[in-house]
């Protein structure tokens, strides 16, 4: 079905179109959510919120971008909203600092069920360290890095989702990689001592 007709069917509340939307996008949405929030239950909850938002907002979709791009934007925004809320709540919980560089992670619950389809790290501790470092990046770097390196989207796709130029994406990725190298280098140097 052509995208314009598909969007129109969604706007009309066509159950078959909604079923098709879920079938086509549930893995993509879940993959994006778990890239930002590496806990299966939380990512599933966020993915549900994404589809509720899509269903409630399809009437506002203008068609300025592809439907996929719009859904990715909602997925990223819902994931970041969840992280912000979780970080606010975590201030009162147990926090562990890596490196003395404010890399806080609560290892007791957040990474209990990390299963990302795109990344297979050898053990849970390495994934905790990596995602703790990614979460310390400035938000724009974190978004671009996650979409490109973890979700394996092209520069052009990331550009469309974030409304930034491809050259901005390249620059943000370069800075994100440099920042991650420093964070991880400092961590492993400390661990070696």
**pLDDT tier, 55 (very low <50, low <70, confident <90, very high otherwise):** very high
CA-based nearest residue to 131, from 169, 65, 183? 183
Domain 3-192: top CATH class: mainly alpha
120 pLDDT above the threshold of 60:
no
Write down the residue that tokens 């995602």 correspond to.
131
Please give the C-alpha separations between residue 98 and each of 7, 95, 114, 188, in angstroms, as whole numbers: 47, 10, 19, 10
CA-based nearest residue to 3, from 66, 50, 69, 70? 66
CA dist 65 and 186 (Å) reads 41
CA-based nearest residue to 150, from 125, 183, 182, 114? 114
Alpha helices in 37-107 (DSSP H): 40-57, 67-90
pLDDT over 90 for what percent of the chain? 54
* Contacts (Cβ under 8 Å, ≥6 apart) of 80: 36, 139, 143
pLDDT score, position 123: 52
Digit-coded pLDDT (tens) for 22-45: 999 999 999 999 989 888 899 999
The arithmetic mean of pLDDT across residues 165-177, rounded, is 96
The arithmetic mean of pLDDT across residues 128-137, rounded, is 84
| More confidently predicted of 129 and 98 | 129
89 is written with which tokens?
Answer: 């709540």
The arithmetic mean of pLDDT across residues 129-142, rounded, is 88
Mean pLDDT, the chain, rounded, equals 81
Asked whether the CA dihedral 169, 139, 174, 40 is positive or negative, the reply is: negative
Each domain of the chain, given as residue ranges in start order, spans 3-192
pLDDT score, position 131: 82
| More confidently predicted of 147 and 94 | 147
**Cβ–Cβ under 8 Å, residues 150 and 35:** yes
| More confidently predicted of 137 and 110 | 137
């Amino acid at each position: 079905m052509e995208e314009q007709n598909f969007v129109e069917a969604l706007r009309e509340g066509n159950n078959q179109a909604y079923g098709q939307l879920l079938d086509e996008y549930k893995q993509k949405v879940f993959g994006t959510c778990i890239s930002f929030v590496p806990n299966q239950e939380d990512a599933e909850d966020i993915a549900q919120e994404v589809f509720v938002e899509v269903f409630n907002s399809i009437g506002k979709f203008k068609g300025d971008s592809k439907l996929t791009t719009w859904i990715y934007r909602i997925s990223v925004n819902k994931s970041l909203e969840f992280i912000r809320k979780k970080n606010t709540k975590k201030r009162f919980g147990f926090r562990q600092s890596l490196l003395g560089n404010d890399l806080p992670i609560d290892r007791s619950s957040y990474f209990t069920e990390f299963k990302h389809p795109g990344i297979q790290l050898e053990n849970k501790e390495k994934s905790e360290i990596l995602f703790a470092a990614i979460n310390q990046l400035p938000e724009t770097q974190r978004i671009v890095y996650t979409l490109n390196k973890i979700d394996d989207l092209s520069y052009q796709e990331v550009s469309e989702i974030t409304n930034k130029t491809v050259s901005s994406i390249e620059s943000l990725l370069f800075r994100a990689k440099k920042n991650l190298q420093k964070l991880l280098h400092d961590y492993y140097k400390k661990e070696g001592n």
